[in-house]
Amino acid sequence: MSIDSAPTASATALDATSGAATRRDILHRLLMTLGPILAALVIAGFILLAVGVDPLAYYGYVLEKGLFSPLGIQQTLTRMAPLLFLAAGLIVAFRAGMWNLGGDGQFLLGAVTAAASAPMLVEILPAWPALICSFLIAMVVAMIWSLVPALLRAYQGVNEIITTLMMTFLGTSLANVLVKLVFRDPATTVPQTRTLPVEDRLPRLFDTTVTSGLLLGLAAIVIVHLVMTRTAFGLKLRIVGANPRAAVHAGLGVPGLTIAVFAISAGLAGLAGAVDIIGVQGNVRADWNPAYGLAVIPAVFLARMNGFAAIGFVFLLSVLSIGGESAARRLGVPNHFTLVLVSIVLIVLALAEYIDHRYNQSRKA
């Protein structure tokens, strides 16, 4: 039922042949997607009222700063780059029925290794090979970090939700240790890694401040979508996700595929960290943890794990995130509010799917 059976939902959509049915189907999907978002905005609005903030003013400010101001929209598009990579990683894991909730740890370790390697590599290599190397290093480190939960799940059957969460706590601390002890820039008083010079970072798009990492993120999520829906490998992963026992009987090497899923998912999270550092931040400061990992989950579910739809919801999340940061400085509503909003979206979405499911059942009966 519900959110985790997304592939079947898209299959039925393709079967609908007559024009009217398709139109009704599109309308229905639009309602099922925008409905929960609007309902969540209303419910969260009451929370704002309760703490004495005018919700309309707050939402208006978020939209203005995240979407309608020239600087804001550029920041929003830039913020999308790491979020798209994270969403791509989650799509692989969720479609294969695995809960990689360790995105934040993988992200931070990727970010720190990218921040440590990039300034060194640009001194000895030409610009592009250097950046590519540092992307690869970040990816591999994140992959290695996911190996323990992957092996435990594949061979011991240990629940990956818990292990990935634990590894996130460990990874966050380890990233800090690396920044403070190993990769610390001796030239600064605040603990941070060496800064990648602006001219060595990923180029900006045209005359804007938007990072070209956005293109990488878009490419990543589209490739992931195509691999999951159009290739034999993707089909295998989806079978593992739909019914692991049937997958064993079908002769699939489930442990190997499990490890592959974790590696791909974590690798993409590591790349997310790298694209944020090499594209935007330039260094990692101690105790820096944007905690994008869990916030991306609702965007992926709203998109029904469809890569193209996920782009749209990641954009929305980006607007909320950039606008929310401005609102935190200006209106004094801390960023934590975005967490509340995101969680309400998840709950209302699950509820809406349930009601929809029940309604369809009673109509059939």
Site string (17-56) toward other proteins, x via CB under 8 A? ------------------------------x---xx----
Helices vs. strands in the chain: H and E counts, helices first: 15, 0
Q: Residue 57: what residue type?
A: A
Q: How far apart are CA 209 and CA 145, in angstroms?
A: 33
**Choices 58-66, 77-85, 119-127, 337-345; region in contact with other proteins by CB under 8 A:** 337-345
Q: Residue 321: what residue type?
A: S
315 binds other proteins (CB under 8 A): no
Closest approach of Cβ 103 to other proteins, in Å? 12
Contact 103, 292 (CB under 8 A): yes
Contact 283, 277 (CB under 8 A): yes
Q: How far is CA 233 from CA 14, 158, 205, 236, in A?
A: 22, 24, 34, 5
152 binds other proteins (CB under 8 A): yes
| Angle, in degrees to the nearest 10, between helices 232-242 and 213-230 | 70
b/e 71-102 (16+ beta carbons within 10 angstroms → b): ebbbbbbbbbbbbbbbbbbbbbbbbbbbbbbb
- The position carrying tokens 């290093």 is 137
Site for other proteins in 276-295 (CB under 8 A): 294-295
Of these, 16, 136, 252, 339, which contacts other proteins (CB under 8 A)? Answer: 339
Closest approach of Cβ 360 to other proteins, in Å? 15
Site for other proteins in 85-144 (CB under 8 A): 99, 101
Closer residue to other proteins (CB): 106 or 211 = 106
Closest approach of Cβ 66 to other proteins, in Å? 18
Of these, 41, 136, 140, 161, which contacts other proteins (CB under 8 A)? Answer: 161
163 binds other proteins (CB under 8 A): yes
Closest approach of Cβ 343 to other proteins, in Å? 3
Q: How far apart are CA 351 and CA 219, in angstroms?
A: 32
Of these, 176, 193, 211, 306, which contacts other proteins (CB under 8 A)? Answer: 176
Closest approach of Cβ 209 to other proteins, in Å? 29
**Choices 66-74, 108-116, 127-135, 350-358; region in contact with other proteins by CB under 8 A:** 350-358
Closest approach of Cβ 145 to other proteins, in Å? 12
SS3 170: helix
Q: Mind spelling out the 3-state secondary structure of 315-365? A: HHHHHHHHHHHHHHHHCCCCCHHHHHHHHHHHHHHHHHHHHHHHHHHHHHC
Radius of gyration of the chain (CA): 21
Of these, 166, 205, 218, 254, which contacts other proteins (CB under 8 A)? Answer: 166
Length of the chain: 365
Closer residue to other proteins (CB): 32 or 161 = 161
Q: Which residues bind other proteins (CB under 8 A)?
A: 1-4, 47, 51-52, 99, 101, 148, 152, 156-159, 161-163, 165-167, 169-170, 173-174, 176-177, 180-181, 294-295, 297-298, 301, 333-334, 336-344, 346-347, 350-351, 354
